Amino acid sequence: MGTGTSHARKKFTTKEKDANEELTQLLVDSVTYAGFTHLDTAEIYTTEPEVGNAVKRCDVDRSKLWITSKYNSGWDVPGGKPGKPTVPSGPYEALQKSLEKLSLSYLDLYLIHFPFFSPENAEITLEEAWKQMERLVEEGKVRNIGVSNFNVSKLEEVLKIAKIKPQVNQIEYNLYLQNQTPGIVKFCKEKDILVEAYSPLTPIIPSKIKEGGPLDPLIDELTAKYRVTKSQLILRWVYQSGVVAVTTSSSKERLKEYTGMTSFEIEEDDFNKLSEVGSTFNFAGFSVIKNLELKFLTHMDSFLPIMK
């Protein structure tokens, strides 16, 4: 269950500093009604208080929940411009502040949200940031560490110096964005780094694929065959591709629908058809990369905001 996209954007729009009760209740419902166990937040989403409040109110043992947050190395999401990090000293101090907002003693997963570290936007290097991440594991403040929006070369930079390698790389990934950066999913699997997908439902969201996409007829055919919804089919494809989906909704009923993706399996031929047809069309909605060649951008002044 993600808390970015519309949830974070709403808070930015209203300039609301306090926890949003509507989002808190939705998170409670996602756990107690829909059966979600993983809640994903981030420093830049400003939704950590809601996640913390939901954990308190879920009446579920903390050990049964998986809480993820992310360190911002310096990106002004509302304005969409390069900015200074909220916590200049790095992820070690930033995590302390996140734990306070969450009212938790540890995180299950902590990610470096963006791979950009330069004198213009950060006061530490990527190497220094990763060493701080490892210290957090060693001190028991986080159970697992990883990255988000990293391409192969940036992951290689981390792997060269890491005592503890990244366990996760969270990227935009779906049927219309199967290879966000050249070879990234294959590389992660070879290095035993779990890929997490944000925006996994893009192919069936009309506001993104406004004129329809090449998958539409096949999706209609397969939802009828398996007697499932479009969301369930798309999420199942992500799951069967070996990737964890991070998705969201403002409806607890829709969240309940999502969990139905565990009740069936896409046959190999159908899975391959979805993959093949999906690969004929590229669309990046919130990605740090948004060009036809899907090359990873390296300059902060070209960086596209993760929130529209």
Catalytic residues: 45, 113
Residue pair 185/211 in contact by the 8 Å Cβ criterion: no
Residue pair 233/223 in contact by the 8 Å Cβ criterion: yes
In angstroms, rounded to a whole number, what is the distance separating the alpha carbons of residues 233 and 222? 8
Number of neighbouring beta carbons within 10 Å of residue 81? 12
CB neighbour list of residue 93: distance below 8 Å, 6 or more residues apart: 87
Nearest residue to 24 via CA among 102, 108, 111, 96 = 102
CB neighbour list of residue 305: distance below 8 Å, 6 or more residues apart: 75, 77, 80
198 in helix, strand or coil? strand
In angstroms, rounded to a whole number, what is the distance separating the alpha carbons of residues 17 and 174? 32
In angstroms, rounded to a whole number, what is the distance separating the alpha carbons of residues 288 and 182? 14
In angstroms, rounded to a whole number, what is the distance separating the alpha carbons of residues 211 and 87? 42
Length of the chain: 308
Q: Residue 143 carries which side chain, given as an amino acid letter?
A: R
